[in-house]
Amino acid sequence: MEDPFEKQQIEQFKVELETNGAAAAAAKIDAYLAEQDNIPLNIGITGECGSGKSTFVNAFRGLDKRDKSAAAAPTGCTETTMEVKPYPHPQHPNVTLWDLPGVGTPDFQAEDYLKLVQFEKFDFFIIISADRFRQNDVKLAKEIQRMGKKFYFVRSKMDQDMRNEEETQSEFNAERFLTKIRNNCFQGLEKQDVDSPKVFLVSSHHLHLYDFCKLQETLERELPAHKRAALLLALPTVNHEIIKKKKEALQLEIKFLAAGSAVGAAVPVPLLSGKVDLAILVATAIKYRNTFGLDLESLQSLADSARVPLEDLRAEMKSPLALRDISREVIANILRESSCQVTLIAAEEGSRLIPFFGLPVAAGLSFVSTYKALSTFLDMLAEDAQRVFIKALGLHTSV
């Protein structure tokens, strides 16, 4: 079923094309796509000092705990966050995680906290604790709720707790222990008058375990529709479902990219359409690769985190887009290997020679050609991401 909003956008592009011509319609499509890529999402990460806020910020953005680059939030056993500090996502800078000072530190008492951190700019808050949620966490949650924003409790460092419990118990049962932790969190918050608290057990060093996937599903469900794609594309690729949803979000954009290609084909300049199409294909293929975490930097971070050799992960990538710089030459070679694409491109250029009806036919062929190429690229890289995920984390990744 077609989204009414998307249908409305397409109608607007048609009106622009009929009223002001191909160049104006192309500009309108470009502006729409740029707007979609830059929808801001601001996530506030807060909690008491030492709760693991900075580690969570790094993990969410796909940075390994040993990453020492300027992009990584500093971590440590002391209070390392003394000011409100933004950490844009490395691949999707419209998504920013804000590492907030610990609640209850001398300079940030709970009563004045939200005012000091400029509460209004955040889309939602994640309140992190390494053990139990305390009075300051609850005060903050109630104030967030009073102001009409969403918040979620994350019980961090679950990998440490699991190790400690296993070492001290002769009959260790993982599911029973996790249930006990969840119940303790729920009961502790309900005793402090927090109604129906949303609590998620997370290990920032192993996001594929425990409740991170439930947190992701909850955020996706409760975010406004126009913010949802921004979240999905920025999420770390830690399970099959995220890969699937990233692919679905990217697939929805293809019709607009293909429309831009079609408009370019309607301009009566020989070979211009081919140049426009190649530019679209290169930029979009790079976006797909980065969104699935298949760029070299993301792969290295995954290899370090999963303790798998980088070359083993690279060996799982079979598509011609994965292991080289994506350039016009690479894209052109892939297109030449497809007889269908070669036929469509030749037919598009040939149709330009037909008087009166040639340009509309060329536009339609350009739409089909671009749509098919981008869908193929998306399939290739999504399949690579699935294979890399299986190699790095295994098929059975839930406790």
Task: Please report the DSSP string for 285-338 in residue order.
Answer: HHHHHHHTT-SHHHHHHHHHHHT--HHHHHHT--STTTSS---HHHHHHHHHT-
Whole-number Å distance between alpha carbons of 383 and 63: 22
Residues 293 and 316 in one domain: yes
Choosing from 234, 251, 281, the residue where a domain stops is 234
Residues 378 and 347 in one domain: yes
- Closest to 241 (Cα-Cα) out of 205, 214, 203, 222: 214
Confidence of residue 201 (pLDDT cuts 50, 70, 90): very high
Provide the number of structural domains found in the chain: 2
Residues 87 and 209 in one domain: yes
Residues 24 and 45 in one domain: no
Whole-number Å distance between alpha carbons of 274 and 287: 20
Q: Can you give the residue range of the structural domain that contains 205?
A: 41-234
Residues 134 and 224 in one domain: yes
Element (H, E) at 254: helix 240-265
In this predicted model, what pLDDT tens digit does every residue of 331-341 receive, in sequence order? 888 777 765 55
Residues 247 and 267 in one domain: yes
Q: Does residue 398 lie in a domain region? A: no
Residues 214 and 254 in one domain: no
Q: Does residue 177 lie in a domain region? A: yes
Identify which of 12-21, 151-160, 232-241 has the greatest average pLDDT.
151-160
pLDDT higher than 90, residue 73: no
* Contact (CB, 8 A) for 28 and 14: no
Angstrom CA distances, 308 to 204, 239, 315, 352, 390, stand at 18, 17, 12, 52, 11
Give the pLDDT of residue 17.
64
Percent of the chain whose pLDDT exceeds 90:
20
State the average pLDDT over residues 256-281: 62
Residues 219 and 255 in one domain: no
Give the pLDDT of residue 14.
67
Report phi then psi at 324, rounded to 5: -150, 165
CATH number, domain of 67, equals 3.40.50.300
Give the pLDDT of residue 359.
43
Give the pLDDT of residue 399.
31
